[in-house]
Amino acid sequence: MIDIKYLLEQPDKVTENNTRRGKDIDVSFAVKHAKDRAESLEQVQELRTKANELSKTVSTASAEDRPAIIEQGKQIKNQIKDWEEKLAQAESLLSAELFKYPNILRGDVPTGTNGLQNEQVRVFGEPTKFSFTPKDHLELGEKLGIIDVERASKVSGARFVYLKGDAVLLEFALIQYALSELLKEKFIPVIPPHLISIDSMSSMGYLQHGGEEEIYHLKNDPMVLIGTSEQALGPMHLNEVLDEEQLPLRYAGFSPCYRREAGSYGKDTRGILRVHQFDKIEMFSFTTPERSDEEHELLLSIEERLMQGLGLPYRVMKLCSGDTGTPSARTYDIETWMPSQNMYRETHSTSNTTDFQTRRLNIRVRRKGKNECAHALNGTAFAIGRTLIAILENYQQEDGSIVVPKVLQQLIGKEKIG
RNA sequence: GGAGAGGUAGCCAAGCGGUUUACGGCAACAGUCUUGAAAACUGUCAGGGUUAAUAGCCCUCGCGAGUUCGAAUCUCGCCCUCUCCGCCA
């Protein structure tokens, strides 16, 4: 949620921001509701002052005066009730209106309407060249007996997978590799709950903006399955005031990610690029407002370091205004070369959500004058499934075997799979 | 799942319809004293809102409704924690 004060002070800036994101929102509604709210609030407060003063006189008043005072108190009470109703109404209208507002973009985010206008920041390596016709990850994985989607569809349905044998060893090696790098940067490893309350999910803003469809709900409990560990890491510090000295506070969350993938029928149906469940190591940071951009660059640099360590070719994209997600003020994606598709595909994403999530979560930084909202950032360390695809396809040999990236060789105890 | 106890500020803890602006203690911070430290003493010591304001005023005693002129205190609902029983890795 954006700052109401900012909206009232700079309505034009907010409109401009919405327009850049392709959202046509008339700010005058929110401004009006905000003003109504302020007026009702003032009335309620004044009446309460009166009521408080009056009720103090009751106990010392004489027996004759008392009934009149009590009668007067009753009247004020009714007036308060009326104004409180108006206040509640203005507040609910205002917050419903503000839910539509995306985060305020950082100044350096390029303007654009869709992914085609994303800005290429840099490229690492070159698309892998083969002296033979490369196979895709599914064909490779099935032949090696490490990816089984056929049986998974029998057991669970489409978009599920059994990872077996060396694929599992690869996953654990990737986790180990990522954690060892993240520990150097003072990340605290966390295994969060995979089920969180609907309230928590809502507080992270994932149930708004049509996000509801993407999430698995439970039938008998008011809980949902997380789509990323970020959803469980954010609410960890709900309603807390963080000391400035403990910032940046960095978590490395490891969890499965459950996604319904509604609306993506017929898209990326082959293999394990888009599945309902995959494991991921996610970076999540809380910082002071003035340090969040620096932190964002750090998260990106860690992602790149991890990929460079694996020797996979990738490019870094800065998403344009129209492609940046609602809670984000700036997002970088890392797209990794996928030989079977002859193109770069998203494997990592890192966002500075500034105070958009922390405002609703009420997570603040203790400051001398006034405490203010902390900033929150997230970034992918490894989405295991897609990283496996990239390794299998880029490191495949003509005979269908896979050379293991150097940094993982010792961790899985072999130089070659198959 | 069954039975009981309890949630008050960073922590402990009193209050159980109206001088409570939430007693008191610990911790923390600042100061006095001291060569320095400890001790002692003095002061500061929850958030949020409103505001030019660190002035006033309003709200918050787990959360939400209600009763009352007035609720931490009474009523109802919900959440959470602890103990015992059952089940269980």
- Domain of A44, CATH number, reads 1.10.287.40
Phi, psi of A215 (to 5 degrees): -105, 140
Bridge partners of residue A223, in order along the sequence = A197
Q: Note whether A25 and A153 are same-domain residues.
A: no
Q: Among all protein residues, pick the one whose CA is nearest to the C1' atom of B19.
A: A56
Q: Using CA atoms, how far apart are residues A118 and A362, in angstroms rounded to an integer?
A: 32
Asked if the structure places residue A109 within a domain, the reply is no
Nucleotide nearest to A52 (CA to C1'): B70
Quote the percentage of chain A above a pLDDT of 90: 61
Asked if the structure places residue A61 within a domain, the reply is yes
Indicate if CB(A31) is under 7 A from strand B: no
Q: Note whether A11 and A147 are same-domain residues.
A: no
Asked if the structure places residue A70 within a domain, the reply is yes
- Give residue A94's pLDDT: 87
Distance B80 C1' – A379 CA (angstroms) = 32
Indicate if CB(A111) is under 7 A from strand B: no
Is the model's pLDDT at A84 over the cut of 90? no
- Exposure string (b/e) for A133-156, b if CB count within 10 Å is 16 or more? ebbbbbbbbeebebbbbeebeeee
Q: Note whether A135 and A196 are same-domain residues.
A: yes
Is the model's pLDDT at A328 over the cut of 90? yes
- Give residue A209's pLDDT: 66
- Give residue A117's pLDDT: 94
- Exposure string (b/e) for A62-89, b if CB count within 10 Å is 16 or more? eeeeeeeeeeebeebeeebeebbebbee
Q: Note whether A310 and A168 are same-domain residues.
A: yes
Beta strands A147-148 and A223-225 are unpaired
Distance B75 C1' – A4 CA (angstroms) = 38
Distance B60 C1' – A269 CA (angstroms) = 52
ipTM of the complex: 0.81
Region A207-223: mean pLDDT is: 80
Q: Note whether A187 and A38 are same-domain residues.
A: no
Region A364-379: mean pLDDT is: 83
Indicate if CB(A191) is under 7 A from strand B: no
Q: Active-site residue numbers of A? A: 259, 274, 346, 349, 386
Region A359-371: mean pLDDT is: 79
Model pTM? 0.91
Quote the percentage of chain A above a pLDDT of 70: 99
Q: Which residues 6+ apart lie within 8 Å of A41 measured at CB?
A: A87
CB-count exposure of residue A123 (10 Å: 0-12, 13-18, 19+): middle
Asked if the structure places residue A353 within a domain, the reply is yes
Residue A248: asked if its preceding bond is cis (omega within 30°), the reply is yes
Beta strands A402-403 and A314-318 are unpaired
- Give residue A230's pLDDT: 93
Which of A45, A66, A98 terminates a domain? The answer is A98
Asked if the structure places residue A403 within a domain, the reply is yes
Q: Which of A283, A348, A272 is nearest to A315 (CA)?
A: A348
Which of A56, A73, A98 terminates a domain? The answer is A98
Asked if the structure places residue A262 within a domain, the reply is yes
Q: Note whether A157 and A83 are same-domain residues.
A: no
Indicate the number of domains in chain A. Answer: 2
Q: Note whether A67 and A186 are same-domain residues.
A: no
Token pair recorded at residue A403: 């050379």
pLDDT, mean over chain A: 91
Q: Using CA atoms, how far apart are residues A288 and A250, in angstroms rounded to an integer?
A: 12
Nucleotides in B strand less than 7 A from protein CB: 18, 46-51, 57-59, 68-70
Under a CB-based contact definition with an 8 Å cutoff, are residues A91 and A36 in contact?
no
Asked if the structure places residue A108 within a domain, the reply is no
At residue A301 the predicted structure's pLDDT band, cuts being 50, 70 and 90, is very high
Q: Using CA atoms, how far apart are residues A3 and A359, in angstroms rounded to an integer?
A: 8
- Give residue A205's pLDDT: 76
Indicate if CB(A7) is under 7 A from strand B: no
Is the model's pLDDT at A306 over the cut of 70? yes
Q: Among all protein residues, pick the one whose CA is nearest to the C1' atom of B10.
A: A241
Is residue A134 within a helix (H) or strand (E), and if so which, with residue range? none
Distance B71 C1' – A34 CA (angstroms) = 31
Is the model's pLDDT at A208 over the cut of 80? no
Q: Print the domain residue range for A269.
A: 115-417
Asked if the structure places residue A319 within a domain, the reply is yes
Q: Note whether A193 and A299 are same-domain residues.
A: yes
Nucleotide nearest to A45 (CA to C1'): B58
pLDDT tens for each residue of A103-154: 999 999 999 999 999 999 999 999 999 999 999 999 999 999 999 999 999 9
Indicate if CB(A55) is under 7 A from strand B: yes
Neighbours of A337 (CB within 10 A): 23
Indicate if CB(A56) is under 7 A from strand B: yes
Q: Note whether A242 and A364 are same-domain residues.
A: yes
Which of A54, A69, A98 terminates a domain? The answer is A98
Q: Note whether A241 and A154 are same-domain residues.
A: yes
Region A402-408: mean pLDDT is: 97
- Give residue A223's pLDDT: 87
Indicate if CB(A345) is under 7 A from strand B: no
Q: Which of A51-55, A57-61, A175-179 has the lowest mean pLDDT?
A: A57-61
**At A171, which CATH number?**
3.30.930.10
Is the model's pLDDT at A368 over the cut of 70? no
Indicate if CB(A49) is under 7 A from strand B: yes
Residues 236-255 of A with CB under 7 A from strand B: 241
Q: Note whether A36 and A173 are same-domain residues.
A: no
Alpha-carbon Rg of chain A, whole angstroms?
27
Region A331-342: mean pLDDT is: 96
Indicate if CB(A60) is under 7 A from strand B: no
- Give residue A369's pLDDT: 63
Is the model's pLDDT at A362 over the cut of 70? yes
Is the model's pLDDT at A349 over the cut of 70? yes
Q: Note whether A173 and A295 are same-domain residues.
A: yes
At residue A169 the predicted structure's pLDDT band, cuts being 50, 70 and 90, is very high
pLDDT tens for each residue of A27-52: 999 989 888 888 888 888 888 888 88
